[in-house]
């Protein structure tokens, strides 16, 4: 399922829509990274413009990039991949899964703080151009620094075993020790050889 929110509307702005898989919810453990895939939908643009994606961020509270987070740090991926949407020869819809090896997706987040979850938004920034040539030749955009966003949540799971798991393991270990004692296969104290005293 995708969660999506439209960019702000305006006379020259294209209707870019951002979607995130799984309602934008990802999970990880402390000191590990996670990330988001995305779908960008530009099919509803009425002006035949071209959108160049320039970056992304994960923001909590104010939806203004750059953002800082107490739980960790965000790394932009989508802005490094020169993604263009628009009329032919470009695609008007692009979907990528998150892959830290192939550097695909919207971005990644490294958790280095302590907490259960962090809710905010993935912010994608983009520029709009009148022609495809303007995009690739460094022309002047029709509008710049536009944003589209979608809700996102990071669930941080504990790396410490749950108490119930610990006691289950401890019970099994005690059972194995008792069974060995009964069977005579386990000696708690080393046996000394007999000592004979000559008179």
Residue 85 maps to which CATH number? 2.60.40
Distance in angstroms between the alpha carbons of the first and the last residue of the chain:
91
* Average pLDDT value over all residues in the chain: 83
Whether residue 48 has pLDDT greater than 90: yes
Provide mean pLDDT across the span 147-170: 72
Contact criterion met (CB below 8 Å) for 169 and 176: no
The two beta strands, 25-29 and 143-157, are: parallel
pLDDT grade, residue 187 (50/70/90)?
Answer: low
The answer as to whether 168 is a domain residue is no
Give dist(CA 75, CA 109) in Å, integer.
Answer: 6
Give dist(CA 5, CA 17) in Å, integer.
Answer: 6
Give dist(CA 10, CA 25) in Å, integer.
Answer: 30
The two beta strands, 84-85 and 50-59, are: antiparallel
The answer as to whether 186 is a domain residue is no
The total of structural domains in the chain comes to 1
The answer as to whether 177 is a domain residue is no
Residue 191: the pLDDT is 57
**Adjacent-strand bridge partners of 18:** 5, 40
Give dist(CA 15, CA 49) in Å, integer.
Answer: 10
Q: What is the pTM of this model?
A: 0.73
3-state secondary structure of 4: strand
Residue 6: the pLDDT is 44
Residue with tokens 């000592």, as numbered in its chain? 195
Instruction: Choose between 146 and 2: higher pLDDT.
Output: 146
Contact criterion met (CB below 8 Å) for 145 and 127: yes
Whether residue 10 has pLDDT greater than 70: no
**Adjacent-strand bridge partners of 110:** 33, 73
Instruction: Choose between 4 and 17: higher pLDDT.
Output: 17
Angle at CA of residue 153, ends 74 and 4, nearest 5°: 100
Contact criterion met (CB below 8 Å) for 107 and 31: no
pLDDT grade, residue 103 (50/70/90)?
Answer: very high
Residue 54: the pLDDT is 98
Contact criterion met (CB below 8 Å) for 54 and 127: yes
Give dist(CA 18, CA 82) in Å, integer.
Answer: 16
Whether residue 161 has pLDDT greater than 50: no
* Residue 147: domain span: 3-157
């Amino acid at each position: 399922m995708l969660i999506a929110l439209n960019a702000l509307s305006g006379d020259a702005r294209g209707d870019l829509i951002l979607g995130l898989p799984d309602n934008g919810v990802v999970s990880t453990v402390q000191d590990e990274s996670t990330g988001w895939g995305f779908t960008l939908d530009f099919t509803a643009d009425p002006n035949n413009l071209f959108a160049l994606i320039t970056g992304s961020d994960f923001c909590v509270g104010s939806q203004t990039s750059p953002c800082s987070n107490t739980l960790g740090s965000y790394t932009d991926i989508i802005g490094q991949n020169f993604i263009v949407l628009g009329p032919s020869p470009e695609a008007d819809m692009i979907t990528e899964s998150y892959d830290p090896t192939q550097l695909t997706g919207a971005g990644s987040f490294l958790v280095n703080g302590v907490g259960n979850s962090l809710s905010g938004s993935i912010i994608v920034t983009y520029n709009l151009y009148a022609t495809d040539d303007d995009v690739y030749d460094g022309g002047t955009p029709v509008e710049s620094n536009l944003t589209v966003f979608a809700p996102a949540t990071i669930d941080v799971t504990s790396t410490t075993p749950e108490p119930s798991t610990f006691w289950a393991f401890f019970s099994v270990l005690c059972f194995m020790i008792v069974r060995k004692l009964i069977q005579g296969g386990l000696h708690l104290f080393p046996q000394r050889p007999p000592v004979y005293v000559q008179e």
